[in-house]
Amino acid sequence: MSATPQLHSLDSLIANALSGKDLEEFNRIHYGRTDHHVIKVKKNSQDVASNNDFEISAYAFPAKKEDTRAPRVVKVGVIQHSTAAATDRPTTEQRQAMFNKLEKIINTAGDEGVNVLCLQEAWSMPFAFCTREKHPWCEFAESATDGPSTQFLREFAVKYNMVIVSPILERDEAHGDTIWNTAVVINEQGKVLGKHRKNHIPRVGDFNESTYYFEGNTGHPVFDTKYGKIAINICYGRHHPQNWLMFGVNGAEVVFNPSATVAGLSEHLWAVEARNAAIANSYFTFGINRVGTESFPNEFTSGDGKPAHKDFGHFYGSSYVTAPDGARSPGLSRTKDGLLIAEIDLNLCRQIKDKWGFTMTQRLDLYADSLNKATKHEYKPQIIS
């Protein structure tokens, strides 16, 4: 049976269906501003994207001019992509094919002056955790400090004076060869600034990730980089508002959500969660999702009584950025590799905190006390009847 054709882009569908005042009003209501503030990219970048079958989009998110602070303008990029080799090929071959594909996109980001670049969840491998097979997928696990993915990316970090966030499958040799779902932060000097391990592990549908790794143990770190304070809320953590909250409490100005999620499960939630987090916490968020359908050599089941199958379903891409004021960009394609660039002014974070007062009114003391009580064995819900 042939696969159902995938919608290329919901944003394009709407833009092509509306025009004039109707489109302007839709943009105001849906995106939070009538003008997308599109940034023109270089012709060479457009040519590279066209020749290598990926799209490139760029948008600006300015802040108001201030008397006491200079603008803090930073170019942030995110990459979404499909796998580059069949999943029955040797793991080293699959990883190298991914490196070859990403090299062109990263170079384009560098040529466009991107300061901070974030890749998708487990970017250097297929998202094989649906299979529950340990071999060969555990062979993709690597050192956060000097594994092949870090070695590959640090050259670009130095070349372009760029901070790179690299979400990988980590092998922790110092603690019993355990495996973690980890985001590695490489600074502009090519040094590993630190890492964050995924806090929330899904146990839903084909997302059998706890077969491979458990909940992370790194808390909610914020990395103070040359270009601002960044954090990484890996994939399933976006469903947990408290996870987003803690990155904000720790001072994040930009929070990335590198993900791998499929159309039949979460697409109706995708445009909501990272956007809501940006609003609630007065910081910038970037939702990043892989694209394509990844088929595996052996069939697996989902524990739902349905027939065994060889793929997860369609990873729908649609990566996007949201500003602290809730304005967001159109998403990248649902079907195609892409580079999304946002020129953001970090001053907007404080300006929105001043305007809405969410951090001033959030009552952390109240919630901390209530949650502390709720964790006790003898806790009784505060229900009045």
Active site residues: 121, 198, 235
CA distances from 229 to 60, 119, 210, 251, 309 (A): 19, 17, 30, 7, 42
Which residue, 26, 62, 5, 21, is CA-closest to 330? 26
Output the six-digit token pair for 160.
Answer: 């372009």
- Six-digit token pair at 230? 């960044």
SS3 242: helix
Instruction: With beta carbons less than 8 A apart as the criterion, state whether 280 and 358 touch.
Output: yes
Strand ordering across the sheet containing 228-232: 223-225, 228-232, 254-259, 284-289, 320-322
Q: DSSP characters for 159-194?
A: HHT-EEEEEEEEEEGGGTTEEEEEEEEE-TTS-EEE
DSSP 8-state code for residue 307: P
Specify which residues 276 forms β-bridges with: none
Here the tokens at position 201 are 């592990």
- Between CA 198 and CA 237 the distance in angstroms is 7
* Amino acid symbol at 100: N
